[in-house]
Structure 1
């Protein structure tokens, strides 16, 4: 009986050992299976990551290539635009040099279109237009007809027709300067421009409401009525030795030094409510005013200098002026002179002018 029980216990131990070994084997097998599964998962993840990185790299390369192509296209487009602008500019210049007025007119509009599309060329185009206006031109006065008289069309000769065409071209050039100097037209405004109209020949010149940087009209000849109403001049402005027929500067604003010395006004000179806001000197030295001289309501920090000037008709001047050595032809001017000035006696009977002198303080 004891022998049989011992055998049972031994068999039970063997079975337990086998069971334990089997459990360990299954556990180890499961561990290695999990390890293999994890490695396989890791391999799949790495492979997927590599594919994603490869796709990202390909997309980046494609994007860089596309950007490079776009830059090349933009560069090519800019080169094409610049070449086209240069060609149009040169073509406009050639047309402007034509002896035929209608071709010059086409050249002006071609240059205007080029400047509108290419801001960098705007001042250059303005310089060319100003140079065109500096070429000599003297309009003939219209024939005065008697009451009821009609002019025969045959009397209009070729020279007159050519002059009329030339005048149209000049008016177009002036209109281009005006249209692109007006800040109220945001689309067409070319910014504050510099106008070199030195010794130019201008007909019914009009800068009403415009804004310019600096303007040199020294020696310029202004035919007809010249309009500068409500015009602002930001920089140096010279009308030295300019010759006006009828000039209207009402409400104009001169920010910098203003120079009208030795100029001539054949007809009315209207400077009502003109402003010199920063105290810069406004000089009208040795100017000849043959008609009305109107400076009523003019505002200036420093005295406006009219020394050595001649007044042939009525005047309206502010009190803040210098009239030393100025003279007046009409004795009635006495009533409208500034409060500190009066007419003196003629130097001699042959003189046509009364000197303007400062009143003596009591």
Structure 2
């Protein structure tokens, strides 16, 4: 902050100006009229110069004072704006929170839309708003028996409790739509203006009904312990960070078709009670489905597993389709149970394929499957037909301890390395150089 201007300096300069003029006049006075005239002319010019310097100094000082005042005003305005902003945000946030606690569904919906508007206008509050919306969705809730009912009248027909649950469902759908609306960013498109940059999405133990995150770009997501009702959509979604899906329940069908997991994905101990479709998903990091239960039809067709894929002790109750999938990392299916028909046709196992102690209770198809590394089926139990026709084994193969209720179909399977030891099912051996290149052999029944 600048100092006050002192007029004492003006007096000093005026005195100095007069003194300088007098001194120069006396010194230059001379003896003639011309000398007198020159002395007076020089003296007033000296005095004027001193006064000019004074004027310049006064002008500079005034400019500095003006700048200081301008800066003070800017700081004061910024402080006032910050206080006004904080007050406005606090009021809006408090009002929205109060609305979310209302016993009226319409008021709760109003609170959610107010939070959405607040986050859209103030980007620095978006994570806070999303955390609050997620907290609302984490509150205990069980949807009505018929959550697909279109009108309240249909719910009222089932009783007041059912009607209240139906009203709460409308509130939760609004909350879910706010999240999906501001996370929508289709793969390959420019970032939409409505997109919100977030750090995380915490929906642990949440109850979600007919959730739709298709074509969304998701931050770190945590769905552990959540319950999904109605068909859930994650098609072509991009999971940019860790994806936690452990120990949750999908009560109805769910689709992840074309989704991309850019970080580790965790689906252990999940209950897929109905159909699940992971067709053409890219898992760019490891994925775990350990002790997960798959009901009805399960699709992994065309999936790319870039790192290890864990299916240890997984339970597949219905039909399973892995046809055309690529396992670049280890494929671990130890102790898995396949209750329905399983299709691994045209699959590429680029690393270890481990099916030790797996149980195949229906038809198992591995036709034209490529095993580029070790293939383990030790202790596996095949209760129905097992077809490995035209499969290619480039690493060691171990069927020791495996059991077959029906003679396995290994005709046409090709072995590419004669130096590797193999353990084939009883009654099968390799013939080398007969009908295939010299460095390859094919399986035949003894």
Q: Give the C-alpha shift of residue 156 in structure 1.
A: 5.2
CA-based RMSD of the aligned residues comes to 3.1
Q: Give the C-alpha shift of residue 286 in structure 1.
A: 1.3
Question: 1:325–1:356: 8 Å Cα contact kept in structure 2?
Answer: no
Cα 1:153/1:328, change in 2 over 3 Å? closer
1:79 corresponds, among 77, 83, 95, to 83
What secondary structure, in the 3-state scheme, does the structure 2 residue paired with 1:47 have? helix
Question: 2:303–2:326: 8 Å Cα contact kept in structure 1?
Answer: no
What secondary structure, in the 3-state scheme, does the structure 2 residue paired with 1:222 have? strand
Name the residue aligned to 2:332: 322
Name the residue aligned to 1:333: 342
Question: 2:336–2:359: 8 Å Cα contact kept in structure 1?
Answer: no
Residue deviations 1:104-128, cap 9 Å, x none?
1111112222222233322121111
Structure with the greater alpha carbon radius of gyration: 1
Name the residue aligned to 2:116: 112
Question: 1:243–1:265: 8 Å Cα contact kept in structure 2?
Answer: yes
What secondary structure, in the 3-state scheme, does the structure 1 residue paired with 2:219 have? strand
Question: What is the alpha-carbon distance in structure 2 between the residues aligned to residue 267 and residue 239 of structure 1?
Answer: 16
The yes-or-no answer on 1:300 pairing with 2:300 is no
Question: What is the alpha-carbon distance in structure 2 between the residues aligned to residue 59 and residue 106 of structure 1?
Answer: 53
Counting matched residue pairs gives 324
Question: What is the alpha-carbon distance in structure 2 between the residues aligned to residue 144 and residue 159 of structure 1?
Answer: 16
Q: Give the C-alpha shift of residue 283 in structure 1.
A: 0.2
1:179 corresponds, among 181, 185, 192, to 181
Question: What is the alpha-carbon distance in structure 2 between the residues aligned to residue 334 and residue 208 of structure 1?
Answer: 27
Residue deviations 1:83-117, cap 9 Å, x none?
11012112211111122211111111122222222
Q: Give the C-alpha shift of residue 139 in structure 1.
A: 1.9
1:155-304 alignment, distance < 5 Å: 155=157, 157-183=159-185, 186-244=192-250, 245-277=252-284, 280-304=285-309
Name the residue aligned to 1:92: 96
Cα 1:336/1:264, change in 2 over 3 Å? farther
Q: Give the C-alpha shift of residue 155 in structure 1.
A: 2.6
Question: What is the alpha-carbon distance in structure 2 between the residues aligned to residue 88 and residue 335 of structure 1?
Answer: 56
Name the residue aligned to 2:14: none
What secondary structure, in the 3-state scheme, does the structure 2 residue paired with 1:30 have? helix
What secondary structure, in the 3-state scheme, does the structure 2 residue paired with 1:77 have? helix
Cα 1:31/1:272, change in 2 over 3 Å? farther
Question: Which protein has the bigger helix share?
Answer: 1
What secondary structure, in the 3-state scheme, does the structure 1 residue paired with 2:79 have? helix
Q: Give the C-alpha shift of residue 134 in structure 1.
A: 0.9
What secondary structure, in the 3-state scheme, does the structure 1 residue paired with 2:193 have? coil
Cα 1:26/1:122, change in 2 over 3 Å? closer
Question: What is the alpha-carbon distance in structure 1 between the residues aligned to residue 289 and residue 47 of structure 2?
Answer: 94
Residue deviations 1:31-68, cap 9 Å, x none?
44223212212322332332233123223212321221
Extract unaligned runs of 5+ from structure 2: 1-28, 362-381, 387-396, 400-421, 425-446
Extract unaligned runs of 5+ from structure 1: 1-24, 146-150, 347-352
Question: What is the alpha-carbon distance in structure 2 between the residues aligned to residue 273 and residue 60 of structure 1?
Answer: 68
What secondary structure, in the 3-state scheme, does the structure 2 residue paired with 1:180 have? helix
Name the residue aligned to 1:11: none
Question: What is the alpha-carbon distance in structure 2 between the residues aligned to residue 83 and residue 105 of structure 1?
Answer: 23
Question: 1:193–1:212: 8 Å Cα contact kept in structure 2?
Answer: no
Residue deviations 1:200-256, cap 9 Å, x none?
000111222222221110111111121112222222221111111211112222222
Name the residue aligned to 2:393: none
- More divergent stretch after superposition (172-181 vs 334-343): 334-343
Question: What is the alpha-carbon distance in structure 1 between the residues aligned to residue 35 and residue 304 of structure 2?
Answer: 101
Cα 1:249/1:67, change in 2 over 3 Å? same
